[in-house]
Amino acid sequence: MTVRAVVIYHGDCDGVISAGLYIRHFLLDYVPNNIMLKFSHPWRLNEDLEKSIKNLNTIEILILLDLAIGVNIANKLREIVKRNPSINIVIVDHHLSSTSVLKELQELSPRIKVLWNKVQSTPEVLAINVIRNLNEFEQVLIKVANVCEGGSTNEQHVREIADKIKLVLAVEPTNEQLIRGAVEAIVKGIEFWNSREFNEKYSKAKWLLHTLLKRIEERVENVCNWNIAIFRAAESIIYAGLFGIASSEFIKKIRQNMLIIREEREKIVLTVRTTNDQALEFCKLFSSKYANIAHITYGGHKEAASMTIKIDKSLDDFATIVKNFIREKFC
């Protein structure tokens, strides 16, 4: 196997769909022997990017899909194109937090090609900019991705597919076989969400989401109309990638802003959901204020964002910092 194309994509619903659609339309000549697929997440992209291209001098094209590119990654990409004159890079994204960084990277065109639109999902960016004549299967997937990212539709079957894919991928965030298999199924035009295995995982995911929502309701604390729930490392492992979905579901019920603060390995993750488009602004303000005592990365959208924090504080001490910050900035 000689790797000539590397595709790194967000391991969530719209990331997987964007990877499948991109390969299906533009990289079939590389499938299966000349392509490397790697799912990632914005907080660990630097590590995954380094691993994916290390010692691979045969790469012709590197694709980054739905990964909320930040300053550090942008600098890394500049290094890559400078160091490897044979590599071209394509970035497709819709995260509002990436806007300024991606504008700067556009100056490196044609070595780095950027596709960005202020739309609901990354697959919709592809549909607007480069994919023409979508067939029925692909049209459904675009709608599914939009619903996964908080959009709405009157089509019941689209909502059902989106709910399945979003929940299963969230509850299995490290299952490489499952996530890669979903991308490969999209490339082949297979409705993977109807398989027996996928439906079994969906039943488990629904039960876990229900229990997580109960845990949030039991422990939520209100500070200046911001609802805060704290989860320790053991629970983070159990509920894996469901915290974002649970936060979005919870604010539909309470109609107030929501924060989940949790331990995850050697970091603290803050999930932010708001009813008034303050989520990304919250992350910007917090990062600016505490950059001197913590290493903070963040990304997302106006209504839904997250921060990854490395700080020499206990979970409880950090929660106190967050509460005091809310009192200072939002009361």
Same domain flag for 11 and 120: yes
Same domain flag for 49 and 78: yes
Q: Cis ω on the peptide bond leading into residue 32 (within 30° of 0)?
A: yes
Boundary-marking domain end, from 194, 228, 260: 194
The confidence score (pLDDT) of residue 121 equals 95
Same domain flag for 181 and 216: no
Q: Measured between alpha carbons, how far is 213 from 70 in angstroms, rounded to an integer?
A: 31
In a domain, 202, yes or no: no
Q: Measured between alpha carbons, how far is 260 from 231 in angstroms, rounded to an integer?
A: 8
Expressed as residue numbers, the domain containing 54 is: 5-194
Same domain flag for 216 and 147: no
The confidence score (pLDDT) of residue 151 equals 87
What the block records as the tokens of 231 is: 């989860």
Q: Measured between alpha carbons, how far is 124 from 126 in angstroms, rounded to an integer?
A: 5
Confidence of residue 11 (pLDDT cuts 50, 70, 90): very high
Same domain flag for 23 and 166: yes
By mean pLDDT, which of 117-126, 156-165, 168-177 is the weakest?
168-177
In a domain, 224, yes or no: yes
- Segment 43-57, tens digit of pLDDT: 889 889 988 888 778
Same domain flag for 187 and 285: no
In a domain, 203, yes or no: no
Give the other-Cβ count within 10 Å of 163's Cβ: 20
CB burial of residue 194 (10 Å; 0-12, 13-18, 19+)? exposed
Same domain flag for 126 and 219: no
What mean pLDDT do residues 214-234 have?
Answer: 93
The confidence score (pLDDT) of residue 253 equals 86
Residues 6+ apart with CB under 8 A from 133: none
In a domain, 204, yes or no: no
Helix (H/G/I), strand (E/B), else coil: 302: coil
Boundary-marking domain end, from 146, 169, 194: 194
Same domain flag for 300 and 172: no
Boundary-marking domain end, from 132, 160, 194: 194
List the CATH number of the domain containing 230.
Answer: 3.10.310.30
In a domain, 166, yes or no: yes
- Segment 245-273, tens digit of pLDDT: 999 899 988 888 999 999 988 899 999 99
The confidence score (pLDDT) of residue 132 equals 87
Q: What is the mean pLDDT of the chain?
A: 92
Contact, 64 vs 8, CB < 8 A?
A: yes
Percent of the chain exceeding pLDDT 90 equals 71
Same domain flag for 9 and 156: yes
What mean pLDDT do residues 86-105 have?
Answer: 92
Give the other-Cβ count within 10 Å of 274's Cβ: 21
The yes-or-no verdict on residue 109 having pLDDT over 80 is: yes
In a domain, 199, yes or no: no
The confidence score (pLDDT) of residue 161 equals 97
Same domain flag for 44 and 150: yes
In a domain, 82, yes or no: yes
The yes-or-no verdict on residue 1 having pLDDT over 80 is: no
The confidence score (pLDDT) of residue 37 equals 96
The confidence score (pLDDT) of residue 155 equals 95
- Segment 197-215, tens digit of pLDDT: 999 999 999 999 999 999 9
Confidence of residue 186 (pLDDT cuts 50, 70, 90): very high
Q: Which backbone phi and psi does 60 adopt, to 5 degrees?
A: -100, -35
Confidence of residue 30 (pLDDT cuts 50, 70, 90): very high
What are the beta bridge partners of residue 310?
295
The yes-or-no verdict on residue 10 having pLDDT over 90 is: yes
Same domain flag for 179 and 142: yes
What's the pTM? 0.88
The confidence score (pLDDT) of residue 6 equals 95
Count of domains observed in the chain:
2
In a domain, 108, yes or no: yes
The yes-or-no verdict on residue 33 having pLDDT over 80 is: yes
The yes-or-no verdict on residue 167 having pLDDT over 90 is: yes
Same domain flag for 109 and 228: no
